[in-house]
Structure 1
Amino acid sequence: MGSLPSSSRPSENFLCNYHICVVFCPREPTSSGCVTNWIELFNPSINTWTDVGSIPGLMDDQVLKGFSMVFLRDSIYIIGGQVCHKERVHVSDDIADWVDVGVQVVPTVLRYDFQSSQWSSCAPLGVARYDFACTVCEDKIYVAGGKSMLASARGISSAEVYDPNTDTWTTLPNLRILRYKCVGVTWQGKVHVIGGFAEREDSDRTVPSLVERSSGEVYNTKEEKWDLKVGMWQLDVPPNQIVEVNETLLSSGDCLNAWKGQVEAFDGKLWNEVDGSRKQSLSTLEANQRLYLTMAPIRSELYFLAGYGTVGGQEAGRTTSVVHIFDTSATGDAWRSFEPMEVEGERELCGHCCVVQLS
C-alpha cells in the first residue's frame, strides 16, 4: 500500500521524553513461591530498562492478568483484570508446565503518578472485567466488553467511561454485541472497539458468526449509542493489538500469533500490508523461543518489544530482550534493532504496553 503519511524520525532529544511501560511476571514461581507482577520502563533514546516497582495489593503468589494499562496526565492506570496464581500441570507423562488459574475478577483501578512516584486507588469499575477493550479519548478512559466472571463462556456488552477530574465511572450504553479479547483504539477522534470473540446476546449458534467477530463498534457521542461497523477486522481470531499512527490504524497479528510476518494498515475497508514491513522473524532467534511480543507507537515509528527464552546450555532460564523499530515513513530500509540484552530468569508479558510521556 506504500508508505504511510510521513513524519520526521524522532530525534534523541524528542525521544528522551518518551518511555514504554511494560508489566512482567516470572514464567514460573521463584524458589520462595513469588510470582508478583513488576513494572519496567524502556527508554528508547538510550536502550535501557528501569524498574518502577510492583503492582500493589497482590499477594506474593498472585499475578494480575487481563487488565488494561493506559497513560493519562503524567500517570499510568492499571484497570480491572483477573487475579491468578500459578499451578504446575502435566501436559504429558514427562512434561509439566505452569498455567494461570483464575482466582478473582477485580474492578480495581490503580494510578501511578510519575511526578510523585506514588500509587493511589481510584474509583473502581462499575463492572469487574478482564480481557476487555480500553482506550483514552479526549482525556477520558473508555472500557467496553470483556468477561466479568471466571471461566465464563461468553463476553459482556457493558461499557463505561472514567473522568479523572471527578474520579468517577459513568455507565455507557451497552455494545451491540457481546465481546471479549476485543481491542480498544481511538481513531479519527472516536472510540472504536474492534474484533474479539463476539456473538449476539440472543444468538443460539454453537459457533459464533464470523460477521460478529470481524466487526467493530464506534461510540456515537451525539446519539449516545454504539454504531456497528462490519468488516473492521478480517480474521476469525481476535486482533492482538491495533494502534493509531499518523491517523492510520496498524496491526501486526492476532491473539494467537502476535507477529504474522508484516505490519498491516486499515484503509477504511480492508487491511493491507505496509510496504517494507515484511520481516519473517523479529530476531535471529527462532520464533518458537519467543516468550512475548508487544508493540508501541511513538510518532511515526512502531517499537516491537520482544523477549526470547534460551534453550539448553549454561544460559538456560534467562530471557533475551530485543527491541525492533519499524519506521512507517521510511522509503528505504525501514527496520532497525537495538542491541539485545540478557536478563535473569524467564519472564512473560502480563498485559500490553503503553507509551508514557514524561516531562
Structure 2
Amino acid sequence: MGSLSSQLPSPSPAHPSSTTTHKIYASFCTAIISNWIECYNPSVNVWHRVTTIPGLIENQVLKGFSMVSIGHFIYIIGGRLCQKLSGHEPDEIFEVDLEVLPRVLRYDAVNDVWSKCAPLRVPRFDFACTVCDDKIYVAGGQSKLSGACGTSSAEVYDPGLDEWKLLPNMNMLRYKCVAVTWQGKIHVVGGFAEKRDVDRKIPSWGMMERSSAEVYDWENAKWDVIRGMWQLDIPPNQIVAVDDKLFSSGDCLNAWKGHIEAFDGKLNIWNEVDGSHLETLSSPVSTSVANWPPIKRLYLTMAPIGTQLYFLAGYRMPGEISRSMCNVHVFDTSANGDGWTSLEPIDEEGEKELCSHCCVLRQPQM
C-alpha cells in the first residue's frame, strides 16, 4: 500500500512541449481487492499497475470519487467508502456503504509519493469535477448516504495554498452531474437535479432541470443556468473538451451509444460526428459464433489527448471467468470521414471494475 507524506511541495503548471508524452491513469478494483491505479501508455499500447490508493483496509473500496491531474500530480477527491462482504452463495459479493469522505489525496507520478491534501469543505460523491487554470473545481454530488438528494454547493482548490474555498451555491441540487472546462468557463452539466427549495419536502425532478447546465460567472460570482444543454433526463457519462468543441459518447446508463456526439453551442444541440460509428465498442467479438454468449463490457472511459479521443474499454471474454480483454480505440476529431484507429487487444487477468473516470498526465521525456 502506498505511504503518505505530510509534505506538500507546490505543483508546477504543465507547459506544452514537443518532447512531452501523454499517459492515461485510471483506478480499478475487484470484488476482493481495494483500489489501485494503472497507467496506460498510448505509445506502446501497454497497461501497468503503478500504485494502490492508501488508507483502505482489506475489502474496502472507494467509489464515486473524482480523479484529476495537474502537472505530474494526480488528485483523488472525495468519494463513497464501501466494504465488500461475502454472501451466502459461492462467489456472491455485495457492498455495504460506510461513509462519504471529504478526503483528498495527491499522488506524485514522477516520484511515486502520496500526500494528504486539505479535505473538502463538504464531503461528497458522484459530483462534478474539472480543472481550470491549475485549480480544481467541484460542484454538486451527494453528501449523505441516505436518500437520493444532491447538493448545490461548490468549491475550488488552490494547490499552491493547499486550501479549499467555497463558491456560491448553484441554482439547483445536482448529483451524477459532470463538469468540463470549456471556452474558459466551468460548466456543470446534467445530473439528477431539482430546484433549490428548502420548504419542499418531496423532491421534484423534471426534464427541464436534469437537461440543464450551470456555468460559473466569474465577474458576478454566480451560476447561470443554460436550459437544455444536455437534452436528456439521464445524466451524461463523460463530456470532454477538445480544442473548442465538446464531445460525448453516451450517458450513465449507456456509456457507448454507438457513435460520438459534438455540442453545437450556437444551436444548443448535440450532433452525431461524421464517421464516428464503431460497432466493436459495443462488442469486440461477433456474437454470431455458435454457442458464444453475448460479450459483456466491464468498463469504458474516454481520454482526450491533442485532437484524439482515446476510448479504453474492458470486456469479459466469452466462456472465461479468470480472463478479460482491454480494447483501445482512438478517434481523431480532426479527421474527415472515418477517424478511427483500433489498437491490438490486450489480455488481462480476472475482471476489474473501473472506479472513476481516467485522467491524462503530460510527462516530459527525460
Residues 194-205 of structure 1 correspond to what in structure 2 (within 5 A)? Answer: 194-202=189-197
Gaps of 5+ in 2: 1-16, 288-293
* Alpha-carbon shift at residue 151 of structure 1 (Å): 3.2
Equivalent residue number for residue 349 of structure 1: 354
Does residue 1:189 correspond to 2:179, yes or no? no
* Alpha-carbon shift at residue 337 of structure 1 (Å): 1.1
Helix, strand or coil at the partner of 1:166: coil
Quick one: which amino acid aligns to residue 296 of structure 1? A
CA offset digits 1:80-110 (Å, max 9, x no partner): 00111123568xxx99753432111100100
Residues 144-163 of structure 1 correspond to what in structure 2 (within 5 A)? Answer: 144-163=139-158
Equivalent residue number for residue 50 of structure 1: 48
Does residue 1:251 correspond to 2:248, yes or no? yes
Equivalent residue number for residue 7 of structure 2: none
Supply the distance in 2 between the matched residues of 1:71 and 1:208 (Cα, whole angstroms): 33
Supply the distance in 1 between the matched residues of 2:325 and 2:212 (Cα, whole angstroms): 37
Helix, strand or coil at the partner of 1:238: coil
Supply the distance in 2 between the matched residues of 1:267 and 1:55 (Cα, whole angstroms): 39
Does residue 1:261 correspond to 2:258, yes or no? yes
Change (3 A) 1:220 1:56: same
Residues 3-18 of structure 1 correspond to what in structure 2 (within 5 A)? Answer: 17-18=21-22
Supply the distance in 1 between the matched residues of 2:332 and 2:92 (Cα, whole angstroms): 38
Helix, strand or coil at the partner of 2:279: coil
Does residue 1:22 correspond to 2:26, yes or no? yes
Does residue 1:167 correspond to 2:171, yes or no? no
- Within the candidate set 297, 304, 321, 1:297 is matched to 304
Equivalent residue number for residue 3 of structure 2: none
Q: Is the 8 A contact 1:16 1:45 kept in 2?
A: no
- Within the candidate set 208, 212, 217, 1:211 is matched to 208
* TM-score after normalising by structure 2: 0.88
Q: Is the 8 A contact 2:274 2:337 kept in 1?
A: no
Supply the distance in 2 between the matched residues of 1:340 and 1:303 (Cα, whole angstroms): 14
Equivalent residue number for residue 38 of structure 1: 36
Supply the distance in 1 between the matched residues of 2:218 and 2:240 (Cα, whole angstroms): 21
Equivalent residue number for residue 74 of structure 1: 72
Quick one: which amino acid aligns to residue 309 of structure 2? L
Quick one: which amino acid aligns to residue 270 of structure 2? W
Supply the distance in 1 between the matched residues of 2:85 and 2:295 (Cα, whole angstroms): 22
* Alpha-carbon shift at residue 174 of structure 1 (Å): 0.5
Q: Is the 8 A contact 1:65 1:351 kept in 2?
A: yes
Does residue 1:227 correspond to 2:224, yes or no? yes
Helix, strand or coil at the partner of 1:281: helix
Helix, strand or coil at the partner of 2:300: strand
Moved more, 340-349 or 330-339: 330-339
Helix, strand or coil at the partner of 2:50: strand
* Structure possessing the higher relative contact order (Cα contacts under 8 Å, 6 or more residues apart): 1
Change (3 A) 1:47 1:316: same
Identity value in percent: 58
* Alpha-carbon shift at residue 68 of structure 1 (Å): 0.3
CA offset digits 1:26-57 (Å, max 9, x no partner): 1x22xxxxx21110110001101121110001
Quick one: which amino acid aligns to residue 208 of structure 1? W
Helix, strand or coil at the partner of 2:25: strand
Q: Is the 8 A contact 1:132 1:145 kept in 2?
A: yes
CA offset digits 1:218-269 (Å, max 9, x no partner): 0111111001111110111000000001110100000011001110011010
Q: Is the 8 A contact 1:16 1:44 kept in 2?
A: no
Q: Aligned pair count? A: 336
Helix, strand or coil at the partner of 1:17: strand
Change (3 A) 1:308 1:159: same
Quick one: which amino acid aligns to residue 113 of structure 1? D
Q: Is the 8 A contact 2:194 2:203 kept in 1?
A: no
Quick one: which amino acid aligns to residue 277 of structure 2? R
Supply the distance in 1 between the matched residues of 2:91 and 2:48 (Cα, whole angstroms): 33
* TM-score after normalising by structure 1: 0.89
Residues 112-131 of structure 1 correspond to what in structure 2 (within 5 A)? Answer: 112-131=107-126
* Alpha-carbon shift at residue 333 of structure 1 (Å): 2.5
Quick one: which amino acid aligns to residue 238 of structure 1? P
Supply the distance in 1 between the matched residues of 2:54 and 2:306 (Cα, whole angstroms): 31
Gaps of 5+ in 1: 1-12, 30-34
Does residue 1:240 correspond to 2:237, yes or no? yes
